[in-house]
Amino acid sequence: MINLKINGKAISVADGTTVLEAAKQAGVKIPTLCYLKDINAIGACRVCVVEVKGARSLVASCVYPASEGMEVITDSQKVLDSRKTTVELILSDHERKCLSCVRSQNCELQALSKELGCDETKFKGAVNEFPLDETTPYLIRDNNKCILCRRCVAACRDYQSVAVIGPNARGFDTHIGTSFEKDLKDIPCVGCGQCITVCPTGALRERDETDGVLAALNDPTKYVVMATAPAVRVAIGEEFGLPLGTNAEGKMVASMKMLGADKVFDVNFTADLTIMEEGYEFLGRVQNGGVLPMLTSCSPAWIKFIEHYYPELIPNLSSCKSPQQMFGAVIKTWFAEKNGIDPKNIVMVSVMPCVAKKFEKGRPDQSAAGVPDIDYVITTRELARLIKRKGILFNELADAEFDNPLGVGSGAGLIFGVTGGVMEAALRTVKEVLEGKPLEKLNFTDVRGLAGIKEATYNVAGIDVKVAVASGLANAKKLMDKINAGEADYHFIEIMSCPGGCVNGGGQPIKTAFVRNNIDYRALRSKAIYDTDEAMTLRKSHENPIVKELYATYFGEPNSHKAHHILHTSYVKRGKY
Amino acid sequence: MKTIEEIYQIREKTRKKLGVDAPASETRIVVGLATCGVASGAKPVYDAFKKAIKENKIKKVTVGQAGCIGMCKFEPLVQVFVPGQPVVTYVNIGADAVSQIIEEHILGGKPVAKYTITQE
Amino acid sequence: MSKNVSSVTSLNDTAFYKNQYRIALRNCGIIDPENIDEYIAYDGYKALIKAYSSMTPQEVIDVIKASGLRGRGGGGFPTGTKWQFTKNSVGDKKFVCCNADEGDPGAFMDRAVMEGDPHAVIEAMTIAGYAIGADQGYVYIRAEYPLAVKRLQIAINQAKEYGLLGKNILNTGYNFDLEIRLGSGAFVCGEETALMNSIEGKRGEPRPRPPFPAVKGLFAKPTVLNNVETYANIAQIILNGAEWFSSMGTVKSKGTKVFALGGKIVNTGLVEIPMGTTLRTIIEEIGGGIPGGKKFKAAQTGGPSGGCIPPEHFDIEIDYDNLIAIGSMMGSGGLIVMDEDNCMVDIAKFFLEFTQEESCGKCTPCRIGTQRLLEYLEKITSGNADMQDLEDMESLCYYIKDNALCGLGQTAPNPVLSTMRYFKDEYLAHVRDKKCPAGVCKKLLKFIITDACKGCTLCAKKCPVGAISGTVKNVHTIDQAKCIKCGVCMESCKFSAIIKG
Q: Among residues C246, C272, C293, which one ends one of the domains?
A: C246
Asked whether residue C5 is assigned to any structural domain, the reply reads no
Residue C392 belongs to some domain of the structure: yes
| pLDDT band, very low/low/confident/very high, at C140 (cuts 50, 70, 90) | very high
Q: Domain check: are C489 and C420 in the same one?
A: no
Whether residue C384 lies inside any domain: the answer is: yes
- Nearest CB neighbour to B10, from listed C25, C40, C266: C40
Q: What is the CATH number of the domain that holds B89?
A: 3.40.30.10
Q: List the 235-294 stretch of A: residues with Cβ below 8 A of C.
A: none
Which positions in chain A touch C188 (Cβ < 8 Å)? 170
Are residues C225 and C260 located together in one domain of the fold? no
CB C104 within 8 A of CB C189: no
Of the candidate ranges A72-76, A195-199, A317-321, C19-23, the one whose mean pLDDT is the lowest: C19-23
Which chain C residue is nearest to residue A67, measuring alpha carbons?
A: C210
**A417-421, B83-87, C148-152: range with lowest mean pLDDT:** B83-87
Looking at the structure, tell me whether residues C261 and C139 fall in a common domain. Answer: no
Q: Is A54 on the interface with C (CB under 8 A)?
A: no
Domain boundary among C431, C454, C487: C431
pLDDT digits (tens, 9 = 90+) for C371-429: 999 999 999 999 999 999 999 999 999 999 999 999 999 999 999 999 999 999 999 99
Model confidence pLDDT, tens digit, residues A489-548: 999 999 999 999 999 999 999 999 999 999 999 999 999 999 999 999 999 999 999 999
How crowded is residue C456: how many other Cβ atoms within 10 Å of its Cβ? 17
Q: What is residue B72's predicted lDDT score, i.e. its pLDDT?
A: 85
Q: CATH code at C289? A: 3.10.20.600
In a mutagenesis test of the A interface, which of C193, C402, C408, C411 is the best target, namely the one with the most A β-carbons within 10 Å? C402
Span A218-236, average pLDDT: 98
Q: What H or E segment, with its residue span, contains residue A177?
A: strand A175-177
* In a shared domain, residues C295 and C427: no
What CATH number is attached to the domain comprising C230?
3.40.50.11540
C356 → closest Cβ in A47, A166, A172 = A172
> Mutation test of the interface with chain C: which of B5, B77, B117, choosing the one with the most C Cβ atoms within 10 A?
B117
Residue in chain C nearest A147 by alpha carbon: C364
Q: Tell me, what's the pLDDT at C168?
A: 96
> pLDDT for A35-66, tens place per residue?
999 999 999 999 999 999 999 899 999 999 99
Q: Which of C268, C344, C333 is nearest to C311 (CA)?
A: C344
Q: Phi/psi zone of residue C251: left (φ > 0), alpha (ψ -120 to 50 degrees), beta?
A: alpha
Residue from C473, C305, C331, C273 nearest C401 by CA: C305
C371 CB neighbours in chain A (<8 A) are 93, 125-126, 171-172
C285-317 pLDDT, tens digit each = 999 999 999 999 999 999 899 999 999 999 999
In A199-299, alpha helices (H): 210-217, 249-259, 268-288
Cα of B33 to nearest chain C Cα, Å? 9
Q: Do C38 and B116 touch (CB under 8 A)?
A: no
Residue A200 has pLDDT above 60, yes or no: yes
- Do C313 and C277 reside in the same domain of the chain? yes
Residue in C208, C356, C403 closest to A42 by CB? C208
Q: What domain range includes position C267?
A: 256-339
Q: A169 contacts in C (CB within 8 Å)?
A: 361
Q: Please report whether residue C127 resides in a domain.
A: yes
For residue C322, pLDDT beyond 90: yes
Contacts A–C by Cβ distance under 8 A = 106
B75: closest chain C residue by CA: C269
Q: What is the pLDDT of residue C18?
A: 84
Instruction: Kindly state whether residue B5 falls inside one of the protein's structural domains.
Output: no
Q: Let me know if residue B18 belongs to a domain.
A: no
In a domain, C376, yes or no: yes
Is there an interface between C and A (3+ Cβ pairs < 8 A)? Answer: yes
Residue A117 has pLDDT above 50, yes or no: yes
Q: Which helix (H) or strand (E) holds C242?
A: helix C242-246
Q: What's the pLDDT tens digit per position in C227-241?
A: 999 999 999 999 999
Tell me whether residues A86 and C403 touch, CB distance under 8 A. Answer: yes
Q: A90: distance to nearest CA of chain C, Å? A: 7
Binned at pLDDT 50, 70 and 90, residue B84 comes out as confident
Separation between Cα atoms, residue A476 and residue A220, nearest integer Å: 45
Mention every residue, 6+ apart, whose C-beta is less than 8 A from residue A136.
A184, A185, A189, A191, A207, A359
Q: Both C379 and C411 in a single domain?
A: yes
Question: What's the mean pLDDT when you consider all of chain B?
Answer: 91
Q: Are C36 and C149 part of one and the same domain?
A: yes
Contact assignment for C111 to B87 by CB distance below 8 Å: no
pTM of the model: 0.93
A323 burial via Cβ count (<10 Å: 0-12, 13-18, 19+): buried
Find the mean pLDDT for residues A283-302.
96
Quote the number of domains for chain C.
4
Q: Where are the beta strands (DSSP E) in chain B?
A: 27-32, 61-66, 77-81, 88-91
C-alpha span between C192 and C321 (Å, rounded): 21
Q: For the residues A264-281, what does the mean pLDDT come to?
A: 97
Crossing angle between the packed helical segments A421-435 and A268-288, to the nearest 10 degrees: 60
* Same domain membership, residue C269 and residue C403: no
User: Once rounded to an integer, what is the mean pLDDT over residues C110-129?
Assistant: 97
pLDDT in tens, A369-412: 999 999 999 999 999 999 999 999 999 999 999 999 999 999 99
Beta strands in C52-106 (DSSP E): 95-100
- Residue C196 is assigned to a structural domain of this protein: yes
Q: Which of residues 100-119 of C touch B (CB under 8 A)?
A: 108, 111-113, 115-117
What's residue C10's pLDDT?
Answer: 67
Mean pLDDT of chain A: 97
Q: Which chains touch A (3 or more CB pairs under 8 A)?
A: C
Partners of residue B91 in chain C, C-beta under 8 Å: 11
Domains of chain A: 2-75 (3.10.20.740), 91-206 (3.30.70.20), 211-567 (3.40.50.1780)
Which of B4, B17, B68 has its CB closest to that of C270? Answer: B68
Average pLDDT of the residues in A164-173: 96
Mind giving me the DSSP string for C395-419? HHHHHHHHH-SSHHHHHTTHHHHHH
Indicate yes or no: CB of C396 within 8 angstroms of CB of A85. yes
- Residue C495 domain-assigned (yes or no): yes
Phi/psi region, residue C234 (left: phi>0; alpha: psi -120 to 50; beta: rest), is alpha
Position C16 scores a pLDDT of: 84
Q: Pinpoint the alpha helices (H) of A406-519.
A: 411-414, 421-435, 473-484, 513-518
Nearest-Cα distance to chain C for B92, in Å, is 13
Please check whether residues C242 and C372 belong to one and the same domain: no
Residue C279 domain-assigned (yes or no): yes
Measured between beta carbons, the chain C residues lying within 8 angstroms of B64 are: 32, 35
B118/C3 CB distance under 8 A: yes
Residues C161-186 pLDDT 10s:
999 999 999 999 999 999 999 998 89
Residue A213's CB is within 10 A of a number of other CB atoms, namely 24
pLDDT of residue C4: 39
Nearest to A467 by CA among A442, A497, A447: A447
Q: Do C369 and C494 sit in the same domain of this protein?
A: no
**Which residue among B11, B77, B88 places its CB closest to the CB of C41?**
B11
Q: Chain A contacts of C186, Cβ < 8 Å?
A: 170
pLDDT at C331: 85
Per the structure, the complete domain to which residue B48 belongs is given by 23-119
CB contact under 8 A, B70 and C14: no
Is the CB of C402 less than 8 angstroms away from the CB of A90?
A: no
Predicted pLDDT of residue A402: 98
Residue from the list C8, C49, C269 with its beta carbon closest to the beta carbon of B71: C269
| pLDDT band for position C14 (cuts 50, 70, 90) | confident
- Same domain, residue pair C132 and C164: yes
Q: How many domains does chain B have?
A: 1
Question: Which amino acid type is present at position A511?
Answer: K
Domain boundary among C400, C431, C462: C431
Task: Using a CB–CB cutoff of 8 Å, tell me whether A46 touches chain C.
Answer: yes
Q: Is the dihedral of CA C244, C247, C249, C252 positive or negative?
A: positive
Does residue B55 lie in a domain region?
A: yes
What's the whole-number mean pLDDT along residues A21-25?
97
Domain of C462, CATH number, reads 3.30.70.20
C228 and C104 in a common domain: yes
Rounded mean pLDDT, C252-261: 95
Among A19, A59, A78, A89, pick the best mutation site for testing chain C contact (most C Cβ within 10 A): A89
**Would you call A85 an interface residue with chain C, using a CB distance cutoff of 8 Å?**
yes
Look at residue B119 in the predicted model and tell me its pLDDT: 40
Contact of C423 with chain B, judged by CB distance below 8 Å, is answered with no
Region at C45 (left for phi over 0; alpha for psi -120 to 50; beta for the rest): left
